[in-house]
Structures are given as C-alpha cells and as structure tokens.
C-alpha cells in the first residue's frame, strides 16, 4: 500500500520588496484578467453600499498597496503570487462588507438620491421616492428576485465564513468561484492530488451540514 505523502512544511520567509515588484511585473495577461474579474465579482458580491463608491480598480489597488507596504505578507515558497493576491482581494472586500454591516446607519454610507434614480421606458428619470408614492406594481416579483439572490448570497457567505480560518479551504473556494478545475487549483497552490481531495471532501461535508441546518433537513 502506498504511503501518504508527507505534507510540505510551510515556509515563514516573507517576500522581499524586490520579489513583490518582480511578481507584479511578471503577472501574465491571463492572471491580470482573472484578478480583474475576481475584483469585479467581489464588488458585486458585497454591494454598492458596502463598496461605498469604490470600484474594482480601487479594490485591486488596495490589495497591491497592502502587499507592497507590508500590511499583508506574501510567503513565496507557500503559494504563487497571483492566487495569493486573489486571497488579499477577497479579504479586503470582506473587510469592507463587515465595516458596512457594523456602520450601516453612518452618514458615511448615505447614498444620494441621484444614485438611486432609474429611467422609465421613455427615458424619464424616476426617483425611488416617486416609485414608493405611486405604489407601482410588480413589487412582489421584485421581492421574490431579491429574496432568492439574498438566499444564495447568504448561503455562500456562511460557507466562506465557516472556512475563514482554514487557509487551504479558502483558497479552493476562491478558485472554484473563478471557475478553476482541480488540476489548475493543484498547480496554482502547490497541492498534491491527495491534499486537494482531502480539502474538497472537507468542504463538501461542511457545506452539506450548513445546507441541512439552513433548510431543516
């Protein structure tokens, strides 16, 4: 019987400024595009209010800046740069969302009416306050769509939160959101096939327990 491979010891060596700059310059077009798409996804995920006027470019810039100024540490022997930067983007977006959740009533998050207006079929501007006053139809349909999206987001957030302290599982969840398959994940994060399968099963079991609890099964 083949023995289980010995897990690779994690290095504590932090990348130097020169290594970080070199890694940034060496990002491929595919990696840069993946970072952009992921940053866009996170801005959509946390919502415009939590983003507080910041776009995906701001999220990427903040991630780069935190790595460059030492607020976030990259351990190059443990993970390649692009996947690591994706995790930093995810962490910052979650930080923004948590801050908004705690300070939702703060004037910092007050959204002017101009950002809430829409247009009717004839191009006329409709204020949300006008919409409320007129008690327009289709409110029920809008509520169903909102509830469904909120439920999906809530489930995904709960699964992510469950694995917040499990670095390897968090990397795999993040990679799945990016559409990466098993071989790509193993290559990017340096997982052996055995390690990846162990992580995958751990996520599947925990996710099933979370869904059973949420839906009373």
pLDDT tens, residue by residue, 140-169: 444 444 455 566 667 777 787 788 778 788
**Could you tell me if 89 and 42 are in contact, meaning their C-beta atoms sit under 8 angstroms apart?**
yes
Q: What would the two tokens of residue 159 be? A: 């699964």
Q: Does 162 share its domain with 92?
A: no
Q: Does 143 share its domain with 202?
A: yes
Q: Does 17 share its domain with 70?
A: yes
Q: Assess if residue 202 is contained within a domain.
A: yes
Q: Does 166 share its domain with 211?
A: yes
Which burial class, exposed, middle or buried, applies to 147 when counting CB atoms under 10 A from its CB (0-12, 13-18, 19+)? Answer: exposed
- The 10s digit of each residue's pLDDT in 166-210 is 878 888 888 887 777 888 888 878 888 999 899 999 888 888 888
Residues spanned by the domain of 146: 138-217
Q: Does 156 share its domain with 96?
A: no
What's the confidence (pLDDT) of residue 41?
Answer: 83
- The CB density around residue 152, as the number of other CB atoms within 10 Å, is 10
The secondary structure of 1-26 as a DSSP string is -PPPPPPPPPP-PPPPHHHHHHHHHT
Return all residues near 97 (Cβ < 8 A) that are at least 6 apart. 46, 47, 50
Q: Does 157 share its domain with 79?
A: no
Q: Count up the domains in the chain and report the number.
A: 2
Q: Does 15 share its domain with 104?
A: yes
Residue 159 — φ and ψ, nearest 5°? -65, -45
Q: Does 102 share its domain with 142?
A: no
Q: Does 95 share its domain with 22?
A: yes
Pairing of strands 118-119, 125-126: antiparallel
Higher-confidence position of 126 and 61: 61
Return all residues near 185 (Cβ < 8 A) that are at least 6 apart. 171, 172, 175, 176, 191, 196
Q: Assess if residue 127 is contained within a domain.
A: no
- The 10s digit of each residue's pLDDT in 8-45 is 567 889 999 999 999 999 999 888 988 988 888 888 88
Task: Return d(Cα 109, Cα 39) in angstroms, integer.
Answer: 21
Q: Does 144 share its domain with 93?
A: no
Q: Assess if residue 133 is contained within a domain.
A: no
**First-to-final CA distance of the chain:** 39
What's the confidence (pLDDT) of residue 19?
Answer: 95
Q: Assess if residue 115 is contained within a domain.
A: no
Reduced to 3 states, what is the DSSP secondary structure of residue 205? Answer: helix
Residues for the chain: how many in total? 217
Q: How far is CA 29 from the centre of its chain?
A: 21
Supply the pTM of this predicted model.
Answer: 0.55
- The 10s digit of each residue's pLDDT in 64-98 is 999 999 999 999 988 889 989 988 998 898 888 88
């Amino acid at each position: 019987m083949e023995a289980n491979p010995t897990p690779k010891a994690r290095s504590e060596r932090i990348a130097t400024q020169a290594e970080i700059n070199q890694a940034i310059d060496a990002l491929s077009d595919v990696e840069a595009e993946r970072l952009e798409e992921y940053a866009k996804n996170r801005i959509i995920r946390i919502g415009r209010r939590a983003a507080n006027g910041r776009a995906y470019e701001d999220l990427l810039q903040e991630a780069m800046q935190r790595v460059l100024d030492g607020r976030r540490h990259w351990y190059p022997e443990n993970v390649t740069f692009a996947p690591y930067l994706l995790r930093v983007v995810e962490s910052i977006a979650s930080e923004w969302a948590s801050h908004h959740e705690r300070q939702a009533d703060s004037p910092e998050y007050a959204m002017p009416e101009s950002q809430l207006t829409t247009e009717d079929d004839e191009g006329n501007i409709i204020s949300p306050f006008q919409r409320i006053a007129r008690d327009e139809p289709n409110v029920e349909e809008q509520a169903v769509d909102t509830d469904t999206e909120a439920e999906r987001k809530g489930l995904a957030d709960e699964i992510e939160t469950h694995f917040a302290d499990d670095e390897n599982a968090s990397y795999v969840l993040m990679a799945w959101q990016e559409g990466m398959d098993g071989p790509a994940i193993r290559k990017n994060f340096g997982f052996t096939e055995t390690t990846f399968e162990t992580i995958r099963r751990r996520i599947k079991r925990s996710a099933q327990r979370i869904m059973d609890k949420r839906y009373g099964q």
